[in-house]
Chain A
Amino acid sequence: MEVDSIPQQPQEKTAQIDSADFVVGIFADLGQDGVKMLCEGLRSLHGSPRIVVLQRDPVGGAGAANLQSVQEESSLSFLPWSAAGPDPLGAPTQSISIACQSLFALTEKLGARACCFVASEMESATPQWVCELLQPFVESDFDLAAPYYTARMFQGLLNNSIVYPLTRCLYGKRIHNPFGPDVGVSRRLAQKVLSANRNNNGGSSQTHPLALLATVAACENLQICQVHVGARVYPPTDWTNMSSLIAQVMGPIFLEMERCAACWQRTRGSVIVPARGERQPLSEETGTLDLNRMDETFRLGVRDLQEIWSLVLPPATLFELRKLSRSAPEQVHMPDELWARIVYDFALAHRLRTINRDHLLRSMTPLYLAWVVSYAREIVAAGAASVEQRIERLALAYEAAKPYLISRWRWPDRFNP
């Protein structure tokens, strides 16, 4: 997004602000107390840097007016963030994308050292947690500070099952939450992401800026770190919208795979990315597990979506899935190798446009739910402490299956097991 595309109101105010050290975009609805707490944290940053805070204001300016006392601080300037308003089409990832791009554009315009995107609420928010994301840019020359949320048994499942292991396997960096959404980004990385998106405009579709961060940073050998920010509050699951969610998350990942094919085909293995801050202890989650619905959707998928899956998956995988659907509900176990290959096959079909891309991504939902069922049964049996080991095992399976992906990617017609 060009600087010109920053919405009118902020543009008028940014004319008064000619430079800043950091830009913080508060996309999450933190409430007045939350914002005040965050500002307290920002004031405590070493060296009193000049910080511009972009704040989404759903109540039409009232929130900004209430923050008058905070605005008087010389090191903090507030700007309303109309680009981050609610999306009329109800696509949250779309509005996050627009907000991110305007944040990066403002960072570039003000010549700030880095920016920070705050999109979540934390279970136990402290004034420091956003500062933790900015600290790597104050103290050293990092380009990306990715969040390292405290792992929960049944939270961030899409990240744990696909986003993290796939990004780690492809780009060789163990970034636990490569999509953030709470991230610290240097001006250099923000510029690279904006320019990658500008270049993509000539193509069929624009990639989500959050999906670009980790891949651009990894492929360009930029400095990456992770920050322990605590446990994130995840939005409740909307089961009627599950397939849209999968399509919105998977689409950008697969597009990035296509764009960075040369980079990830060269990468072998993966390295640990340094993590800062204190790790919070794991806690047991409460709630009633109802796996029947997901299990039923998977069985229904095996029964009705065969004709679609047969265009995407090789016969051996289809056979495994049929076998899985015939097993008793309490015995459904999707092997990690099978799941990794399924994800790779869908990535390839997305690249080849075997079927309409939206259909393809949505048809993945029953398979993903089968993985969730299998994972939930294992974790319940093994306990909360085993979550990280379980995810590590899955990530290793992705890495082990990478030669399969490379072969299919290079010779899609010849290599079809």
Chain B
Amino acid sequence: MWDQVKQALNQSTTKFLTELAHLLPGVVALIVALLISFVLAWILAIVVRRLLTGIHFDERLSHWGFASLSEWSPMHSPTRLVSRTVACIVILSGFLIGVAAFDAESTSLLVRSVFAYVPNIVGAILVLLVGSIVASFLARSVLIGGVNLNLHYARLLSLGVKWLVLVLSVAMALEHLKIAPGIVDLAFGILFGGIVLTLVLAVGLNSRELVTKSLERDTKESSGEHVEEPFRHV
């Protein structure tokens, strides 16, 4: 019986070592691929950063009307954002090459599905990017317009508009990523409706004074109390 146990142990050890030896080149290839991709990413990031700094990318970007991009870039520098994105893509590619080196059916399936998912990720990132820019632009427009119209709730309105657009773009991005579409739809509806309701209530309650003043002015004008103010600007 002891011989049988010994044989079984030998067999399992041999099997394990054989499979390990079979996997080892793949693991080494993964590590090598990762190491190379790290080095390549580092070099590429430096090259891209220097190149973009050389052409004053940050300034040009704000000239082209994408100043809001710097708000959510690392260290408020879109150059760093681009260089780090390039580095991340190179490292991810290295990882996928390394995984593919296992040459197993499952890993190639994983690689294929990851690559098939890439367009969704790119689409979602684009939607988020455009959403963020539009949200900032509209928020600023509403804030300036509100202040110039003497609305005391201008900031609230601006925040409301910003979050409406952001929630919409996040929901669209998640839809692109196909992450729990049912829940996303429901959550989006609740959030969007909630923000609109909050804004309506806030503006409505704040507007009471405004409406009262407007009615008072109308009453004065109809009773002939209208007084012309003398300011002429242009």
Interface residues of A (CB under 8 A from B): 152-159, 234-237, 240, 242-243, 245, 249, 285-290, 293, 296-297, 300-301, 303-305, 308, 352-356, 359, 362-363, 365-366, 372, 376
Contact = CB atoms under 8 A, between A and B. Distances in A.
28 contacts: A152-B232, A153-B230, A155-B232, A156-B233, A157-B233, A234-B232, A234-B233, A234-B234, A235-B232, A236-B228, A236-B232, A237-B231, A237-B232, A243-B144, A286-B230, A287-B227, A287-B229, A288-B227, A288-B229, A297-B147, A300-B150, A301-B147, A303-B155, A305-B144, A308-B140, A352-B59, A353-B62, A359-B144
A357 to B, nearest CB: 9
A332 to B, nearest CB: 16
Contacts of A363: 144
A153 B232 CA distance: 10
A29 B14 CA distance: 103
A202 to B, nearest CB: 17
A308 B144 contact: yes
Contacts of B99: none
B72 to A, nearest CB: 15
A289 B231 CA distance: 8
Contacts of B183: none
A304 B149 contact: no
Nearest to B59: A352
Q: Which 7 A-B pairs have the closest CB atoms?
A: A287-B230, A234-B232, A155-B232, A243-B148, A154-B230, A288-B227, A158-B233
Contacts of B140: 308, 355-356, 359
Interface in B184-234: 227-234
A154 B228 CA distance: 12
A300 B152 contact: yes
Contacts of A290: 229
Nearest to B156: A304
Interface string B149-163: 111101100000000
Contact of A300 (B141, B147, B230): B147
B39 to A, nearest CB: 34
A178 B130 CA distance: 42
B143 interface: yes
B63 interface: yes
A343 to B, nearest CB: 15
B74 interface: no
Contact of B148 (A154, A365, A376): A365
B65 interface: yes
Nearest to B232: A234
Contacts of A308: 140, 143-144
A354 B228 contact: no
Nearest to B230: A287
Contacts of A236: 228, 232
B192 to A, nearest CB: 25
B150 A297 contact: yes
B120 to A, nearest CB: 31
B230 A305 contact: no
Contacts of A288: 227-230
